[in-house]
Chain A
Amino acid sequence: MSEHVAHPIGAFGQESIWKGNKCEWDDLRNLAILSVLEFLMADSVSVPALTIPSSASATSQRHSAVVRITHWINAISFITLFVSGIAILLAHPRLYWGETGAVGGPSLINLPLPFVLDISVINIRGAGRYLHFLSAWVCVLTGLLYIVSGVITRHFWRELLPSKSHLAWHSLAQTISNHLYFRRPREEEELSYNVLQRLAYLTVVFILLPLMIWTGLAMSPALSSAFPWLRTAFGGQQSARTIHFFVAVSLVIFLLVHVVMVIRAGFRKRMRAMVTGQSSASRTTK
């Protein structure tokens, strides 16, 4: 945040509030809004280009503020969605295909889980539906913030979209073999994502999470009356429920691999990058 003074918005905010030692409400409000804007923008506009020589600084900008904030909010909502999702699933751990399904009729999969109807087992009122819907809203709203900011700052194109060279056969094979042999990433990989990371993150952000939201909405009897295609696109309410389950399983697998990779790549360094935004790795000229 050392760029504050140089930032035109920051200078304006500071000047107008302290004039004549009077603290006007409008000024305070402007300062609040501007400070938030500045905090969010400062990092994203100050990301140095990869061409800056390594001697420029000891630490480098790794993740923008929006990426870090939305990452951790979504990490929390991911866990609460998972816990409450299990509570909801245990009320009826069977999966069906089509519009309908019930005990006594044909099912797709009988999960090897007990039927737990009594929510007092979990012993927290609202640990199921109430928590699931609150967390879903948090996840969706921060997700939207992330998407909008990712488009504005070109985060998706700059950092996530694989380049042609990434997708070339030999480079793809090299990255896959690095992972298969659990080779530690080289230092410059701390500053940009490898091709498997890029593909995994893009899949989660643009395929799995939207599918999760869609199948969730498709289960709603009210919304599917207003938008019947929400449900018919999947072949019925129970199909949507089944897909919701399998996409959830995919997301949990992603989370496990993600955490293992973070530990493998250096837990402290990666956590530091996602919390403070800084990476100790020095940027090298490419």
Chain B
Amino acid sequence: MSELVTRRNLITTGLAAVAGYAGLKTAARIADRFGLLPPDHQGLFGVGETLTYASQRILMSGHPLAREFSPSEISKVAPINGKPPESDDYHRLAGGQFSDWRLLVDGLVTRPRSFSMAELKSFPVREQITHQACEEGWSFIAQWTGVPLAHVLNLVGVGERAKWVVYYSIQDDWWDSMDLPDAMHPQTFLAYGFNGHDLTIERGAPVRMRVARQLGQKSVKYLTRISVVDSLKHIRDGLGSGSPSVGFSWYVGI
């Protein structure tokens, strides 16, 4: 056993540890520069998150589309998670068929403004039948109708320093963000229809985010505000989403 604890081995181990730490720091800086560093990259778990996010961003640099299914493949059962908002504001909006509802788009954009339901519906309509999996393990196929987020972002003009798109729900603890490649992806959109009908209150009326290539938690319901930013560090807990603080990853392309 004494052969294992020689001076040489101690020196080697020490050097390897220092080199490893410096290597990780440098790797993180390089990853950040190329947009390969997720907001929840801190700590030991952050190493795994960064490896997953960075490798997937590299593998998906061609922006592939999620598979789209035929109408006959739409699931008969599509469960709903979570309860509708209980605030008076939301009840008032719902009572008026959401005619008073506005979606604010601000941050690093040239022309910040808000959109009404009628405006969103006047934009090019996108329909897709895609698979949606929940973090819990269940999944369903459904048809979603809406306007591509890219269309709205192009209308307000995304600034040069922009890196992330943060989006908020009427439900205060449900907020999330995504990188620009996901935000500009043609299958990422502001959904107002589900299987041929307007979104019901349980499904997120009037408008929810729909991110086809990530798990359901990213598709935040009851949208109120979208904000384009260059850093997530100073937004709430700095982890880019409400999920990491309760044990779920920020990036759920998984």
Contacts and interface: CB of A to CB of B under 8 A. Distances in A.
Contact of A130 (B48, B59, B78): B48
Contact of A228 (B1, B16, B67): B67
B65 A100 contact: no
A218 B4 CA distance: 42
B253 A134 contact: no
Given A28-B15, A32-B19, A99 B247 contact: no
Contacts of B62: 226
A104 B79 contact: yes
Nearest to A216: B254
B138 interface: yes
Contact of A222 (B8, B12, B135, B254): B254
Given A133-B249, A137-B52, A221-B215, A88 B67 contact: no
Interface in A258-286: 276
A241 interface: yes
A221 B133 contact: yes
B31 interface: no
A237 B130 CA distance: 12
Contact of B139 (A28, A29, A102, A223): A102
Contacts of A224: 66-67
Interface in B1-23: 1, 3-4, 8-9, 11-12, 15-16, 19
Contacts, number: 140
B146 to A, nearest CB: 18
Contact of A137 (B8, B51, B66): B51
Interface string A79-95: 00000000011011010
B58 to A, nearest CB: 10
A241 B208 CA distance: 27
A225 interface: yes
Interface stretch (B69-77, B115-123, B157-165, B221-229): B69-77
B83 to A, nearest CB: 14
A221 B131 contact: yes
Interface string A202-237: 000000000000000001111111101000000001
A41 interface: no
Given A36-B12, A221-B254, A130 B131 contact: no
A237 B67 CA distance: 12
Contacts of A29: 15, 19
Interface residues of A, number: 48
Contacts of A225: 60, 64-67, 212-213
A125 interface: yes
Contact of B59 (A28, A94, A137, A226): A226
Nearest to A228: B67
30 contacts: A28-B15, A31-B15, A32-B12, A32-B19, A35-B12, A36-B16, A89-B137, A92-B134, A99-B139, A102-B75, A102-B79, A102-B139, A125-B246, A127-B247, A128-B247, A130-B247, A133-B52, A134-B45, A137-B47, A220-B254, A221-B66, A221-B131, A222-B60, A223-B56, A223-B253, A223-B254, A225-B66, A226-B60, A228-B67, A237-B133
- Top-5 shortest CB links A-B: A222-B253, A134-B48, A92-B137, A105-B77, A130-B45
